[in-house]
Amino acid sequence: MLSEDKYFRDLTVAKLWQRYCGFLDLSIGEFIDIQEELLMDQIERVADSLLGKKIMGNQKPESVEEFRRIVPLTTYDDYEPYLSEQREDALAVKPRLWCHSSGRGGYFKWIPYGSEFLEKVTRTCIAALVLATAGQKGRVNVSPGVRILVILPPAPYTSGSMFQAVAQHLSFQAIPDPEKTQSLDFQERIREGFHMALRDGVDIIGAIASVLVRIGEEFSEATQSIRFSWALLHPRIIYRLSQAWLRSKREKRPMLPKDLWPAKAILTGGVDTAIYTEDVAKYWGHSPHEFYAATESFFLAVQGWNRKCLTFVPDLVFFEFIPYEEQREYKDDNDYQPATVLLDEVEEEKLYEVVITQFYGMPLLRYRMGDIIKVTAMEDKEAGVKLPQIVFQRRVGENINLGGLAELDEKIIWQAIANTGIRFADWSACKEYKGNQTFIRLYIELKEQRETEEIETMIDEQLKIVDTDYKDIESYLDLKPVRVTLLQPGTFQRYMEEKRKEGADLAHLKPAHVNPTERDIQRLLELSRMVTEK
């Protein structure tokens, strides 16, 4: 029996809830007390390590205030080449596993994780599973043996590594089996996972929201593509298909994924989650339950059972926050050291860059995540959570400034496109200049026939609704700053196929949504022309 399995056997439901979700009952003072106690323990653990001395020098801060005053803010460059070369001699604690980021900027960030850290991560992951399936406070609807359909990149990516770590402490059935599908590419693993889920069923789905929507769209448009094969003759598969077909006929609609895989919950993270909530529910039967995770810490924050905003987890990393005004000051002067605030000092409706210090002997100290979050409220009154509520907004630098009046990030642009209702395959956007005027140039591949001017007007109108600053641009600058280039059907697919043939990693198969490289833009245009000429 694995370590967490025994708690489900021995504890009451109330005690299980307290073990995994009790942090939601903390006051802000209790949250800060936990943070400060663990930070002082962290300082003691790392002070004599090679990386600890590199960052802190020969000093060992004796208080939280002293730590924040004398230890500089860091980035991944400060830990190179120790982490990229996986130098265990530089660490305070021997790692149990290494995982890497999705490779933004063209290279991976490798992060080590020790046993104690991973035990805490497992508890937070179980908390996310409990909250996703709860429906109300105090209810526990998961147990060992839960079947999880995983439509996420495998280890050593963060998502795969997280599930790998949890598997060491909690018994669950991963669909598909990661050990049996290691040699398959991402699309093949998805197909294998769906086939296994047809046979065995599924309790929880873990996936990226936009991927779920794309699968749902394709499924509803091509239900008849479920072709006969010997594999489909399994009695459980025949029963599941027949029940799904009958359900769709009763409701006079195409068969949808929710008919075949009526899961208890859907877990997802990323900037697109809020944008696709309604579509995910339409195709898969549940609104997604969101979490905020990163390579440097696995979990940072989770949604409550009411699926509103996110609450930070207190015992994985020490949190500091750079007010957005300070972050912008640093952008203008790289020698400037931004001031930080703690969670009990953040303000509602303000933006902050996240800074973390890992606990349990991990190496990252006052590390700038490069993530911008927004504090939406100081508490969740509906759920009784008395801690600040946040949403993930964007990555630092992933925004387009228009005339100093509006800053459009991936979330804002994506929401505006989605709100138009147009059917599209994918898109990329960048800033463009004409004389002394600035525009947003949107390269988009549609799944339907539309005129360029019509798309420009629709997106311009939606941006005015989504972003309050954008709505004033037309009156101030006397222009509509949206310019659209329509790409031919199949352009993004061809781009991805080229990248696969080049041996590109999963994270680099598509151009960035915001501020792609000039090279990527030119290649998209070339591929679009090639489709037209063909």
Per-residue pLDDT tens over the stretch 174-190: 888 877 777 777 778 77
- Confidence bin at 225 (pLDDT 50/70/90): very low
pTM for the full model? Answer: 0.85
Q: How long a stretch of residues is the chain?
A: 534
For range 84-107, the mean pLDDT: 84
User: Is the predicted pLDDT of residue 140 greater than 80, yes or no?
Assistant: yes
SS3 content of the chain, % helix, strand, coil (to 5): 45, 20, 35
Are 301 and 335 in contact by the 8 Å Cβ rule? The answer is no
Q: What percent of the chain has pLDDT over 70?
A: 93
Which residues lie across from 45 on neighbouring strands? none
* Confidence band for 89, pLDDT divided at 50, 70 and 90: very high
Average pLDDT score over residue span 59-75: 95
Closest of 184, 180, 228, 175 to residue 203, by C-alpha: 175
Residue 145: the pLDDT is: 93
Q: Residue 411 pLDDT more than 80?
A: yes
pLDDT in tens, 455-493: 999 999 999 999 887 877 776 666 778 999 999 999 999
Residue 105 predicted with pLDDT over 70: no
Give mean pLDDT, residues 360-364: 96
- pLDDT of 230 reads 41
| Domain limits, the chain | 5-78+310-395, 118-289, 399-533
The pLDDT tens digits of the residues spanning 304-338 come to 999 999 999 999 999 999 998 886 665 556 677 89
Tell me the pLDDT of the chain averaged across its residues. Answer: 88
* Fold (topology level) of 399-533: GMP Synthetase; Chain A, domain 3 (3.30.300)
Confidence of residue 228 (pLDDT cuts 50, 70, 90): very low
Is 431's pLDDT higher than 70? yes
Q: Which of 234, 241, 255, 13 is nearest to 136 (CA)?
A: 13
- Report the distance separating Cα 501 and Cα 523, nearest Å: 15
Beta strands in 161-253 (DSSP E): 172-175, 204-207
| pLDDT, mean of residues 134-142 | 93
How far does Cα 423 stand from its chain's mean position? 23
pLDDT at 419 over 90: yes
The arithmetic mean of pLDDT across residues 28-57, rounded, is 96
Distance in angstroms (rounded) separating the CA atoms of residues 448 and 417? 14
Query: Average of pLDDT values for 229-240?
Result: 67
Rg, C-alpha atoms of the chain: 24
Per-residue pLDDT, 185: 74
Q: Which residue has the higher pLDDT, 396 or 372?
A: 372
Please spell the DSSP secondary structure of 275-332, one letter per residue. TTHHHHHHHHSSPPEEEEEETTTEEEEEE-TT--SEEE-SSSEEEEEEEHHHHHHHHH
Residue 231 reports pLDDT greater than 60: no
User: C-alpha distances in angstroms, 386 versus 92, 133, 188, 310, 320?
Assistant: 35, 22, 44, 12, 18
Cβ-Cβ contacts under 8 Å for 429 (sequence gap 6 or more): 400, 408, 413, 440, 441, 442, 443, 513, 514, 515
Average pLDDT over residues 334-354: 91
Can you say how many angstroms the Cα of residue 110 is from the centroid of all Cα atoms in its chain? Answer: 18
| 251 vs 323, higher pLDDT | 323
Mean pLDDT (whole number) for 163-177: 89
Please report where in the chains the tokens 């598969």 appear, as a residue: 237
